[in-house]
């Protein structure tokens, strides 16, 4: 079975927000909700500016799932984290816990009361029958059931945003890193996790950069 992942290549993202728009349009998300957003670091600093598109990262140890008081979250066979809006009580705990700001709530009723949580579904809908009207209404389109990948990545003009099986996505990214001479390697690999040492020397010998 596939293990679905998003990966955004900071060397390629041009902050066009095409992914944000594609997502909003495809899923007809409620007003004020933005399932995907583009964060720019060092905006305007020459040579240091980097942009990244972020949405739900479909974590393996998902904090939203861990703190939800009514247990609405579940993980599909593809490793996609989905939730059941019918059971959501709008407490906002997933919004406190998520590192990526994925869960969002439409305001509903008095006192800033929260409605049902909405987040990126990896274009995989919800617990309703695949492709049903109820599913479309609550979660947006179920592209995965149609054999398609998330629209944000499909429509990315520079192919910075990749979505799909982790193995395929990292193969594509690894090839890019090698071809362009190392830039972007900081996102993956031994050195990022553990620092330099034997591995750093091996990497240098291998002709990388």
Partner 1 sequence: MSSRIITWLRAALLACVVGLAGAPAWAAGSAEAAVAATAADGGLIQPGNNAEAFRSARRGEHQSITFAAPADRMLIQSEGQTWRMWRNGPITQWGGWLLAAVFVALVLFRLIRGRIDLEGAPTGRLIERFNRVERTAHWTLAVTFVVLALSGLTLLFGKHVIIPLIGYDAFSWFARLAKNLHNLTGPLFFASTVVFVLMFARDNVWQAIDALWIRKAGGLLTGEHVPSWRFNFGEKTWFWIGVVILGLLVGATGLILDFPGNGQTRQDMQLAHLIHAGGAILFIALSLGHIYIGTVGMEGAMDGMKSGYVDETWAREHHEYWYRQAKDATPARPAAPPRAAASATR
Residues lying near partner 1 in the complex (CB under 8 A) are found at: 15, 17, 20, 32-34, 37-43, 45, 52, 54, 63, 66-72, 86-93, 95-101, 103-105, 107, 111-114, 186-187, 191-192, 194-197, 200, 203
Token output for 50: 């980097």
Q: Smallest distance from the beta carbon of 45 to partner 1, in angstroms?
A: 8
| Separation of alpha carbons 132 and 7, rounded Å | 29
**Which residue, 76 or 191, is less far from partner 1 as judged by CB?**
191
Q: Smallest distance from the beta carbon of 104 to partner 1, in angstroms?
A: 5
Q: Smallest distance from the beta carbon of 6 to partner 1, in angstroms?
A: 14
**What is the number of alpha carbons within 13 Å of residue 110 lying toward its C-beta?**
0
> 70 and 87 in contact (C-beta within 8 Å)?
yes
Q: Smallest distance from the beta carbon of 97 to partner 1, in angstroms?
A: 4
**Which residue, 122 or 144, is less far from partner 1 as judged by CB?**
122
**Which residue, 105 or 144, is less far from partner 1 as judged by CB?**
105
Q: Smallest distance from the beta carbon of 163 to partner 1, in angstroms?
A: 18
**Which residue, 105 or 122, is less far from partner 1 as judged by CB?**
105
| Separation of alpha carbons 47 and 183, rounded Å | 13
**Which residue, 47 or 195, is less far from partner 1 as judged by CB?**
195
| Separation of alpha carbons 127 and 149, rounded Å | 18
């Amino acid at each position: 079975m596939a293990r679905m992942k998003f990966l955004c290549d900071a060397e390629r993202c041009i902050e066009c927000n095409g992914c944000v728009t594609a997502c909003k349009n495809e899923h007809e998300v409620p007003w004020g909700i933005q399932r995907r957003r583009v964060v720019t670091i060092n905006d305007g600093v020459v040579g240091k500016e980097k942009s990244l598109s972020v949405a739900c990262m479909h974590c393996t140890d998902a904090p939203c799932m861990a703190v939800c008081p009514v247990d609405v979250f579940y993980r599909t066979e593809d490793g996609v984290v989905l939730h059941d809006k019918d059971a959501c009580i709008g407490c906002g705990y997933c919004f406190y816990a998520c590192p990526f700001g994925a869960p969002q709530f439409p305001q509903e009723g008095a006192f800033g009361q929260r409605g049902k949580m909405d987040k990126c579904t990896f274009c995989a809908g919800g617990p309703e029958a695949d492709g049903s009207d109820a599913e479309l209404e609550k979660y947006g389109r179920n592209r995965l059931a149609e054999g398609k990948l998330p629209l944000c990545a499909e429509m990315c003009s520079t192919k910075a945003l990749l979505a799909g099986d982790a193995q395929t996505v990292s193969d594509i990214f690894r090839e890019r890193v090698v071809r362009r001479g190392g830039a972007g390697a900081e996102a993956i690999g031994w050195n990022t996790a553990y620092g330099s040492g034997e591995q750093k020397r091996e990497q240098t010998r291998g002709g990388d950069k």
